[in-house]
Structure 1
Amino acid sequence: MALTPPIQPMLADARPELPRDTALPGGPAYEQKPDGYRAILFASPDRVQIQSRNGTDLTGAFPEIAAAGRALPAPLALDGELVVAHGGRLHFGELQRRARRRGAGARQAAAERPAHLILFDVLETADGPLLDRPYRERRAALEQLFVDGTLGAPFALCPATRDRAVALDWLDPAWGTVGIEGVVVKGLAQPYQPGRRGWLKVRARATADAIVASVTGPVTAPSTLLLARRDQTGRLRYVARTAPLARTAREELGARLRPGGPDHPWRGRRFSAGWGSSEQLDHRPVHPELVVEFAGDTAVDEGIYRHPVRYLRVRDDMSPEQLPPPGA
């Protein structure tokens, strides 16, 4: 194969909503964005490697994908998303647990929670690299690999459309409940440009309510909010952290919040500054009495929002006791 790992995948720039005029070369094509790990598979009869977005070798963690790549009749370099289905949806938490295992543990996990690689691009075939070919040609080549039976389970073809109305439907939060977290927009005439943010992505978003349980920054003018809900036993469970608040929101909330006392359940508790980060937040518990509405994407694992959410408003019409438990 001419392409060898690691190579930088082509990336997407975030947008708040699906653009009407993308100005992408050749016009737009839309693909579903599954909730998983970006992965490039380099497969030939004598060598297989699964490369993560940042270049990490994931081959040992997903032996079933590696075995399927090794069984392909001709060399291929394929770009896609590793996913694990569980409980009726694509489950990011189960995927994370799979990614940490190797050896016998990985083989056991593959039997219990098999992974799939949802493919949206082909970068090389037996005829050579396709990076310079337009997206429409690469997509046609990828679809043909499924039509002629070269590719099958555990590989899956990522749904794609040129119909904006269909793409808008994919942004319905109902798709988020099964693990489709948004839409990626690509130019039909675009080549594959490793490392460049030449595509666009839009995440599906929905609103929800939670209790303000702690803040970063001063209580009188909080920078961000740490949000919670009470579980079935009444314990305060973390669900999300907001993005930095606007000045008007800081003033509004600062006038409403009260510092938590020494018996606050989050007194002395540590929170990560971000998903996968080892940095700890400097936070200040507040009396858990104020309910707020927020907007978040659909990347939610066991009731916890993986990405920062956006504060919308105070819900004076709701009490903390009226909120459902996390994950409900």
Structure 2
Amino acid sequence: MALDLRKQQVLEAIVECHIETAEPVSSRSIARKYNLGVSPATIRNEMADLEEIGLIRQPHTSAGRVPSQKGYRYYVDKLMKKAELTPREERLIRAIFAKRVKVLADIIQCTLKAVTQLTDYLVFLSGPYFENDVLKKIKIIQLMPGKALLVIMAETGWVHSKAMDLSSDITVDDLAYIELVLNRYFQGLTFKQITRTVLKDVYNELTRYRKTINHILEIMEVVLQEEMKENLYLGGTNRILKQPEYSDIEEVRNLMNFIEKEENLRMILQDADPYRVTVKIGEEIKSEQASKYSAITAVYNVGGNIMGVLGLLGPMRMDYARAMTVVEHMTNVLSEALSEDKFY
């Protein structure tokens, strides 16, 4: 759909004014606030044309107009200007990530806290996809004869330890050798890449320890199956309720019903484009319950492997430029923190 310059200016003014005020926008307010060089009557004519093609609509009997879903989409795709974080906001992010946190859960909480303080929307984040995580090291520590501690460490900082029984004839030197061989074959691979071919080579080299190796691999499989139940983290529930749309108790109830069902948020995250920030507006979310909402998502990754998705959910009257900048920036921060052990 092609709009001439004046219609684009009027639509941009309506969207940005409505985002700012949450009120219907009149031709007079556009003429006062935006220097378009035309009269309110001319702006009214342009608004009538925009309404006819479905980019704006008249809510109830109001004299003003608000953007439609189609209008928001046109704005995001063709008119919106990129927003920038302020120096103060960048300092805030650095302050939140100032501690050199070593635990994955802390990194995730830092991310949620930063995004929550930068926006008034619901923040949701899928925990890392562990099948794409890279194995950093396996350690096997003897606790006592016949007992050892298996420690599995990933590049993202995820660590899992599990006590295991050993054959009585396994010595500390045996454990050191098993650890050396396992790290030689597994180190630097994603958990998904630890295939039967690799395991066959391990078995060939550690034939006399086959029972112990089987036990270690069983533990790894169980741990990974548990962790693959991808965690979902939420933040900002109280902040989204500050939006004017949720002064109506029925709208609050609808929102709470929607976010209480994890599958709704997972559906939005699964729809994220792996290469760019994704914006879904209203019915594009493909849920009748979400027809009044918008969602913005982006993936975070380590070494090119997608580890999870960060998302924002808010009313359709969302500040798209700012929200997209925050999501893009924070997924970059999260990716770098997980990749380089370097935190802001």
Q: Which TM class, normalised by the smaller chain length?
A: under 0.3
TM-score of the aligned structures, taking structure 1 as reference length: 0.25
Structure with the higher strand share, 1 or 2: 1
Structure with the higher helix share, 1 or 2: 2
* Structure (1 or 2) with the larger CA radius of gyration: 2
